[in-house]
Structure 1
Amino acid sequence: MMSMQGNNQPQTNSQWRGFKSLLLAALAFSLMTVCVKHLGGRLPVAEILFARSLISLAITRFMLSRVGVSPWGHRKRLLLLRGLLGTAALFCVFDALASLPLATATVLQYTYPTFVALAAWMFLRERIHPRIGIAVFLGWLGITLVLKPAWLGTSFTGYSPLSVSIALSGALFTALAYVCVRELSKQEHQLVIVFYFPLTSVPIALLFLGNQGVLPLGIDWLWILGIGLFTQLGQIWITEGLTLLPAATAGSIGYFQVLFATLWGVLLFAEPVDGWFVIGALLVLGATLISFRSRQENILKQST
């Protein structure tokens, strides 16, 4: 019995590490959205993406050289596909943040865990535990309740259908990119996976930017730096989390970003909070705990 518990301990520790990594990633990405929102659409989306990617490319290349890992990896086609999907997702996310309220853009982006679960089942043959399905449902319901006033009446119908479609497309591209990360993590170093993201984004952003660039002014430089820094941290942490947890479980934990984004909305953009937010927040937290607990139980069953 003692031996069995000793064997389970490293696995349990790795699951907690994955949980913490994904929680930190959600925080970092929520801060990135704050920086994008503060730019207020003053800079073209392609320019923001280019600046973000350039910063991330330099940081990741430096980190790779420090650990002595080749940046080019083994599964180059899948690495490039991950970069393309991530680039498409960021284009959509940045565009949605420029044209929609912060909380609304974030809740639309966080429909992606459902796409993650389905894509992981289709492409990676990952079994969807019944509790994961419940967690995804509760998380989605919680998100809806958090933002319920914005989804009723003229508030929602006033949003541009194109902007909403772009935000949902970003969720789909994000899910597919995460599934690629999950598959790549079986063979590639985490930093190599992160490196291919900006490596792909830089030339694509330049292609779309053309001669439409706008010179950032004053505090704009601080927001641009924040976008690059927080996205880099988020990519590192989410890549680590996806190597330690199944894609479907990781997706449900990511719902925390909605809570963070709503908090920043209250503190920085004067967005109101009511009873629906409290109920929704509890549902999101419950969904996260359910998904994590079900994963731990699966580990114990497989070890006995």
Structure 2
Amino acid sequence: MRNWLTPGMRLMLLGTFLFSLGSLCIKLAGERVPTMEILFVRGIVGMGLCWLIVRRSGAGVFGTRRVMLALRGLTGFIALFAEFYAIVHLPLADATVILFSHPVMVAVLAWVVMGERLNLVGAGAVLTSLVGVAVVCRPGFLTGTSGPELDPLALAVALGGICFISVAILTVRSLARTEHPAVVMFYPPLIISLAAPLFAEGWVMPTGAEWLMLLGVALFMNVGQYYMTKGYAVESAARISAVTCLEIVFAAIWGASFLGEIPDGWTVAGGLLIVIGTLALGTSARDETAPGESGG
């Protein structure tokens, strides 16, 4: 029987699955362990793994465009903190759905800042995804209540995190022209390891089970990122965008199975709109690049 998944799609599927397990570990560890402490552990383990990759590649550890690399590390630190905070303080499926909308912000920033084209289909995809985010956030004008049912601060952090995730992605696109990928990957955990202790408050000594969750965060998310990066290297983003949508499905399954969080109609409806918008955005990007492809 013919395999429906290309090698790049299989790598992305594995990376997405591992990432979702890492998010579950964040949620479980975050019941008592502060968010910054969880982030610090991921940074330390990630820095060690990235350092090994850099050394094997033969590239200089600190790269050449160090100011831009430091900016990449700083935006990555803020984005990951926002992501971890949202996962801890929001239902897992809601946090994942909101954070998954970052491709829309990337497209908007690339259009505004970098002058990249955004055709009619792309603009419609952006609008669809933004409506999906609004539905998941449950504002009062939609629900008929005085305010959102979700934690307002966590929602604000998640929405701000989308912006920093998008800026981080754009810096990666710029750095990829001159820097080895391993060097670009090294800076976020480096900045995290240096900055997290400065901003942390109320650190606790993890229990045995919490240490397992922290180790799961570090290993699942760092290894997941490695496989997702390899997937993007061998497959077009437009083609594997459908696979990344499974992260929302995994989050809903883990939330229902381990956390007792059953996604409501708002989450399902908003998630579908965001998935549709993301897939349409990928199709738009593919259609724009198709005329210049030689097929080789």
Which TM-score band (shorter chain)?
Answer: 0.7 to 0.9
Q: In structure 1, what is the Cα distance between the partners aligned to 2:229 and 2:163?
A: 18
Unaligned runs of 5+ in 1: 1-15
Question: Is the 1:35–1:227 contact (alpha carbons within 8 Å) kept by the matching residues of 2?
Answer: yes
Name the counterpart of 2:254.
Answer: 264
1:189 pairs with 2:174: no
In the alignment, does 2:64 pair up with 1:74?
A: yes
SS of residue matched to 1:227: helix
Query: Which residue type is aligned with residue 28 of structure 1?
Result: L
Shift in Å, 1:73: 1.4
Select 1:28's aligned residue among 10, 18, 21: 18
Retained in 2: the 8 A contact 1:256–1:284? no
Instruction: Tell me if 1:96 matches 2:86.
Output: yes
Quickly say closer, same or farther: Cα 1:198–1:251, change in 2 above 3 A.
Answer: farther
The whole-number CA distance in structure 2 between the counterparts of 1:269 and 1:194 is 32
- Report the Cα offset of residue 146 of structure 1: 7.6
Deviates more, 1:154-163 or 1:167-176: 154-163
Measured against aligned partners, the alpha-carbon deviations of 1:25-77 in whole angstroms (never above 9, x if no partner) come to: 44333222111111143111111111000011111111222232322112111
Measure how far apart 1:177 and its partner are: 0.7
CA distance in 2, matches of 1:239, 1:118: 22
Whole-Å separation in 2 of the counterparts to 1:282 and 1:175: 21
Change (3 A) 1:104 1:292: closer
- 1:169 and 1:256 mapped to 2: Cα distance? 23
Asked whether the equivalents of residues 120 and 247 of structure 1 are also in contact (C-alpha less than 8 Å), the reply is no
Other structure's SS at 1:157 match: coil
Q: 1:205 aligns with which of 196, 206, 212?
A: 196
- Between the aligned partners of 1:136 and 1:241, the Cα distance in structure 2 is 24
Aligned counterpart in structure 2 of residue 54 of structure 1, from 29, 44, 61: 44
Are positions 1:164 and 2:129 aligned together?
A: no
Query: Structure 2 matches for 1:1-304, cutoff 5 A?
Result: 23-140=13-130, 152=143, 157-209=148-200, 212-240=202-230, 254-272=244-262, 286-303=276-293
Query: In 1, are the aligned partners of 2:74 and 2:191 still within 8 Å (CA)?
Result: yes
Q: Equivalents in 2 of 1:119, 1:18: separation in Å?
A: 26
Specify the code of the residue in structure 2 equivalent to 1:265: G
Q: Using a 3 Å threshold, how does the CA distance of structure 1 residues 240 and 178 change in structure 2: closer, same or farther?
A: farther
Aligned residue number for residue 3 of structure 2: none
- CA separation of 1:292 and 1:100: change in aligned 2, threshold 3 A: closer
Decide whether aligned partners of structure 1 residues 234 and 144 sit closer, same or farther in structure 2, where only a CA change above 3 A counts: farther
Identify the range of structure 1 (20-29 vs 223-232) with the bigger mean alpha-carbon deviation: 20-29
**SS of structure 2 residue aligned to 1:219:** helix
Q: Deviations over 1:83-113 (max 9, x none)?
A: 1011111112222222222122223323322
Q: Which amino acid aligns with 1:160?
A: D
Provide closer, same or farther for how the CA distance between residues 106 and 202 of structure 1 changes in structure 2, counting only shifts above 3 A.
Answer: same
* Inter-partner Cα distance in structure 2 for 1:121 and 1:31: 33
Relative to its length, the structure with more helix (as a share) is 1
Deviation at 1:244, TM superposition (A): 7.1
Which has the higher mean CA deviation after the structures are superposed, 173-182 or 247-256?
A: 247-256
Which 10-residue stretch deviates more, 292-301 or 134-143? Answer: 134-143
In 2, distance between residues paired with 1:34 and 1:140?
25
Say whether the 8 Å CA contact 2:93–2:255 is kept in structure 1.
Answer: yes
Separation in structure 2 between the aligned mates of residue 252 and residue 139 of structure 1, nearest angstrom: 15
Between the two proteins, what is the percent identity of the paired residues?
36
Q: Is residue 52–residue 228 contact of structure 1 (8 Å, CA) maintained in 2? A: yes
Q: How many pairs were matched up?
A: 288
Letter of the 1:187 partner, please give it.
Answer: T
Query: Aligned-pair RMSD on alpha carbons?
Result: 3.5
